[in-house]
Copies of this chain bind each other. A is one copy, B any other.
Amino acid sequence: MKKWAVALALICVAAIGLNSQTTPQAPAPQFTPDGKLVLPKDYREWIFLSAGIGMTYGAPAEDGRQDFDDAFVHPAAYRAFLQTGHWPDHTIFVLERRRASSQGTVNKGSVGRYQSDLIGIGAEVKDRSRAPEGEWAYFTFGTNSDTAPVLPKTAACYGCHSQNAAVENTFVQFYPTLLPVARAKGTLNASFKE
């Protein structure tokens, strides 16, 4: 009986050890039954990759307005990228667009701007169960919607990402902590010119 208790104790210790060492796996993107992507509720707690301002990806806005954007990626996908320079299956990027404000209480330099209201959310997803060749899919959420249909292949994002992105279809050239990883791992797209 003593042996049995010792064995049980060892199993417990092993179980506690396994539990505390768990590396999070990238969870599969969630879709509604009619195929809409569900916005991950906790994306603001994911890994922040970078922010930009006025990144119009085309002609500047006529009224000169510049919005901020913030890019987030799931922590498990981020850790896989640090190890390999590639994005694993189930990678989800969330891009948030926020209004730029300048009427702060401290920011006395009138040129300074900080982020305020949320004005749009986009997502880029790699899911081999839906795109076996590893193609990325794009989604645009309204600010009051937590589901979004996949954008048609004619949407500008598909062509622009595939032609201009530094790693696969992702703009790693704008993520200052990941660009050196891609260089070191040799995973920059051949067509990408630094």
Chain A positions within 8 Å of B, measured between CB atoms, are 1-2, 4-5, 8-9, 11-12, 15-16, 19-20, 44-45, 47-48, 50-61, 64, 66, 68, 70, 72, 75, 78, 98, 100, 104-118, 160, 164, 166, 171, 173-174, 176-177, 192-193
Contact = CB atoms under 8 A, between A and B. Distances in A.
Nearest to A192: B105
Task: Say whether chain A's binding surface is mostly helix, strand, loop, or mixed.
Answer: mixed
A106 B164 contact: yes
Nearest to A82: B45
B59 A114 contact: no
Contact of A54 (B5, B61, B105, B109): B109
A162 to B, nearest CB: 12
Contacts of A60: 109-112
Contact of A115 (B58, B72, B117, B176): B176
